[in-house]
Structure 1
Amino acid sequence: MSLHLGDLIIMSSPMMNRFPLNRGIFLHFKVEYFFEIGLFFGGILLYWRSFTLVRNMVRKQVLVILMVVFFLGGAGLLFASSFGGLNVESFIMGSGAVVSAQKEEVQLVVGGDIMLSRNIGWLAKQEGYDRTFSGQNFNPLSQFSCYASGDCLLYFNLESMFSAKDNDQPKGGFTFRANTGNIQTLLDLQGNNELVLSLANNHTNNAGGDGVELTRHRLSAHEIGHFGAGNTTGEAETFYSTRKGGIKFCFQAFSYDGTHGIYGKKSLAWNPLSLPLMTGTLHAMEQDLCDVKVLGLHWGAEYRFQPAKWQVLLAHQLVDAGADILLGGHSHVPGPYEIYNGKPIFYSFGNFLFDQDWGMKTSVGEFDFNYDYELKKNRVPTYIPLLASLQIEKNGTGIQISSPLFKMARLHKGIFSPLDDETFSGMMEHLVLK
């Protein structure tokens, strides 16, 4: 047990006889020792000054009275602070005084693209839309400490809008329209945590304006945050904010093909990769006192690990404009990350829940690949979802963001399984920006 000066002062006093150590009462003092020391030395100075003033006085009992009054007052403050809950700082400096800021922490867990149509939706429909994360199935999010306790803030990109006319069939082409029953998959994924979803991607318009309206309605009904698309540009450009663990997070998303127009019978808009729009959004977030500003970016070439030079340049411009975290997607394979000016940039998380689990046969000149030690062959890793956890801390000096903790899994027909260590190590080598 380590002792402070405040402990020694009180432990040497007669109060120790009334509150013995074996009751553990002196192990948890709430008093700030800085003020104890100040009171202690302040008392010495007052004693000396009082003695100087009255040393030639006949009535020496005045000095005795002053000493007794000060000692009792100081002892009362210390006793009330330690045992009665009195805030000495507020008592001495005013009720608004704050000397030591309380540390607040949140674990942000981020992943890639979720597609609930085609074969994923068809398989889920066979089991009442309670399939991927049900029963004893492996949940890759369980690899993070905050997930079981319900303390995670989760981020993904929803690649398929809900539709009254779904496209849930094994070979459904490239039109992603999900049955509304698939909301159960998202709820199972969420667990007891908070989930937010980007809606800005190159499949936002697959179910038309009706699909975006239905998707936003269903997500809102289940308190799942969403952003990046709407039936008007105003809805699309309105960023989403949430406060968790005392930290205000603000999210917005953008896609390389973002636009607005009439799709089906209703208008539809999703945010483009426009630098003025993105920097304007960051400014609005700053004005709204957001602690952590997060942008989702749907961009880049498919089946390529490394980002293009324009992506790196744009990412750096966004961080310089105030972005705290950049989350990329669209490539279908995990991509590299970097820390730029203290801010994490993830160029791509690849697929999270998708039906491209065949891994694609490699063509060295066309696609990037990784050697899979379980399959014992080269594969384009469309079936390996990348996940990352960031510890966000708010303290007296501002916001601190930890280095990412990476996890992966293996996906086959909508069911996850653990990834072997050798393949994981090989994938980690591709996460280095070149």
Structure 2
Amino acid sequence: LIIAFARRAVRYRVGVFLQRNFNLPLGKEGLRPIAITLLQSSDREKDVEGILKYLKRNIYYGGATDANTNWIQEKIGVPDIKEPNFVTLVFGGDIMLDRGVRSSVVKNFNNDYSALFAKKDLSDILKKSDIVFANLEGTASDKGADLKNLYSFRMDPAVVPALKGAGISILSVANNHIGDWGRNAYIDTLSRLRENEIHYTGGGMNSAEAETPAIIEKYGMKIGFLGFSDVGPTAMEADVDQAGQLLANDPRFDEIIQNASKQVDYLVVSFHFGDEYKTKHNARQEYLAHKAVDAGAKLIIGSHPHVIEDTEIYKKSFIAYSLGNFIFDQSWSAPTMQGMLLEVKLNRDGSMTVKKDTIHLNSAFQPETIIKGTEEKIKFQEIKNNATQ
């Protein structure tokens, strides 16, 4: 952030796309205009308001703090910016941008992975949300060696900044394809996520990091995330001095979740589990999901089946057993070319609301159509105390 003092104005220069003007008292000359311009923002209005709020809280001219605060609020002439009483989250399913998706991006979008997220229905939902979560089905790296599994995924490193640009906040790195190109590719992927300021959960540089919840704080509310794989590979399990993922059969499963839940207001636990291409969850999924809720989770997000599965309310917590595919190249059937986009509102009073959208991929593997209608997408449906399909 550069502060450039001019003869008649002070400019907080953070970009070129949106400008907001207001006045700030500076010395003997009285009110001087300030221009805020914002660059590379997914929600410019919200970010500008955040800057104004920061100024009001942190500019100090001397004197009594309370009087100073009131004086600045009066002189700046910006109304109080009230924090929302809720945090909005969007959960998507499996993202795998290798194989057929990579070919489509090369052919149709000049190797620009951001085009996969460009359709308006999707981008509107992602960019208005405070937190966006998905499962990264494989590594994004140019390192490692192909272990020659039946299906072996390694995405172009250019995928990572594209995910960031699309509004992805956090990714699960616990799944059966995360080790397809070995541990070096996995470590490189974690590094690239950190460089692009994308949180990850379900794995880490060692077992301590893998067991530590990723915590995102919004509007004074702490949202925590843990991830587990129930479908291996066991060779990629994190250890004391070894990078890897967190497995659902960890003997400290309950303890890990309990410890995480104590650190946050809401805990989200994601699982890579279940049977592929089944639309109903199995007994193992239910066991793990209920066990996680009993240990302190409020939201359970499932992936791996590649199709949408049923949802459940258990002890006032919401369970989505499988969101299906977010972006994947399984074009051989209609169910694998769609997925659930789960919109969640976590309220400060401890309640939550959810809304289930269905996304459909086009032939280029872009999520293009979102069933529910534009107006319904922002009207969250209250959670009822019964299971829904």
Which of 388, 393, 398 is matched with 2:342 structurally? 388
Conserved? CA contact 1:201–1:255, under 8 Å: yes
Asked if structure 1 preserves the Cα contact closer than 8 Å seen for 2:325 and 2:339, the reply is yes
CA contact (8 A) 1:133 1:188 kept: no
Residues 123 and 166 (structure 1 numbering): CA distance in 2 closer, same or farther, change over 3 Å?
farther
Match of 1:164 in 2: 142
Match of 1:133 among 115, 126, 138: 115
Deviation at residue 283 of structure 1 after TM alignment: 1.6
CA distance in structure 1 between the partners assigned to 2:214 and 2:132 by the alignment: 14
**1:112-138 residue CA offsets vs partner (Å, 9 max, x unmatched):** 000021121233245454245369x42
Change (3 A) 1:167 1:348: farther
Q: Give the alignment partner of residue 164 of structure 2, picking from 187, 191, 198.
A: 187
Q: How many residues in Structure 1 have an aligned counterpart in Structure 2?
A: 293
Contact 2:113–2:158 (CA<8 Å) still a contact in 1?
no
Equivalent-residue separation in structure 1 for 2:242 and 2:296 (angstroms): 31
Q: Distance in 2 between matches of 1:433 and 1:167?
A: 43
Instruction: State whether residues 334 and 386 of structure 1, in contact with CA within 8 Å, keep that contact through their aligned partners in structure 2.
Output: yes
**RMSD of aligned alpha carbons:** 3.2
Cα offset, 1:148, TM superposition:
4.0
Q: What CA distance in whole angstroms lies between the structure 1 residues aligned with 2:288 and 2:113?
A: 39
Supply the distance in 1 between the matched residues of 2:314 and 2:387 (Cα, whole angstroms): 13
Once the 2 structures are TM-superposed, how far is the Cα of residue 254 of structure 1 from its aligned partner? 0.4
Question: Of residues 162, 169, 179 in structure 2, which corresponds to 1:205?
Answer: 179
Contact 2:179 2:236 in 1 (8 A): no
Contact map agreement 2:330 2:337 (CA 8 A) in 1: yes
| Alignment correspondent of 1:117 | 98
Look up the equivalent residue of 1:115 and give its one-letter code: M
Residue 232 of structure 1 corresponds to which residue in structure 2?
206
CA contact (8 A) 1:387 1:406 kept: yes
Code of the residue aligned with 1:283 in structure 2: it is Q
User: Which secondary structure does the structure 2 equivalent of 1:217 belong to?
Assistant: helix
The answer to whether structure 1 residue 328 and structure 2 residue 302 are counterparts is yes
Look up the match of 1:413.
364
Whole-Å Cα distance in 2 between the matches of residues 255 and 134 of structure 1?
A: 26
Partner of 2:220: 246
C-alpha separation in 1, matches of 2:169 and 2:360: 20
> What runs of 5+ residues in structure 2 fail to find an aligned partner?
1-68, 72-81, 374-385
Is the partner of 2:276 in helix, strand or coil? coil
Contact kept? 2:341, 2:358, Cα under 8 Å: yes
1:139–1:285 distance in 2 versus 1, CA, 3 Å: same
Contact 2:301-2:319 within 8 A present in 1 as well: yes
Displacement of 1:187: 2.5
Structure number with higher helix proportion: 1
**Structure with the larger strand share:** 2
Report the counterpart of residue 272 of structure 1 in structure 2.
247
Q: What is aligned with 2:32?
A: none
Contact 2:91 2:343 in 1 (8 A): yes
Equivalent residue number for residue 216 of structure 1: 190
Give me the whole-angstrom Cα distance separating, in 2, the residues matched to 1:262 and 1:390: 30
**Structure-2 residue corresponding to 1:344:** 318
- Determine the C-alpha separation between the residues in 1 that align with 2:371 and 2:86: 31
2:86 to 94, 105, 109: 105
Contact 2:172 2:227 in 1 (8 A): yes
The correspondence of residues 26-105 of structure 1 with structure 2, limited to 5 A, is 104-105=85-86
Q: How does 1:349-368 map to 2 (within 5 A)?
A: 349-359=323-333
Residue 186 of structure 1: how far off its partner (Å): 0.8
CA distance in 1, matches of 2:144, 2:362: 23
Letter in structure 2 aligned against 1:111 = G
Whose Rg is larger? 1
Shift of 1:166: 8.7
In the TM superposition, residue 251 of structure 1 has moved relative to its aligned partner by 0.5
In the TM superposition, what is the alpha-carbon distance from 1:221 to its structure 2 partner? 0.7
- CA distance, structure 2, for counterparts of residue 407 and residue 175 of structure 1: 28
Q: CA deviation at 1:275?
A: 6.4
* 1:343–1:210 Cα change, 3 Å: same
Cα distance change on mapping 1:352 and 1:324 into 2, 3 Å: same
What's the counterpart of residue 309 of structure 1?
283
Q: Indicate the residue corresponding to 1:174 in structure 2.
A: 151
Q: 1:281 aligns with which of 228, 252, 256?
A: 256
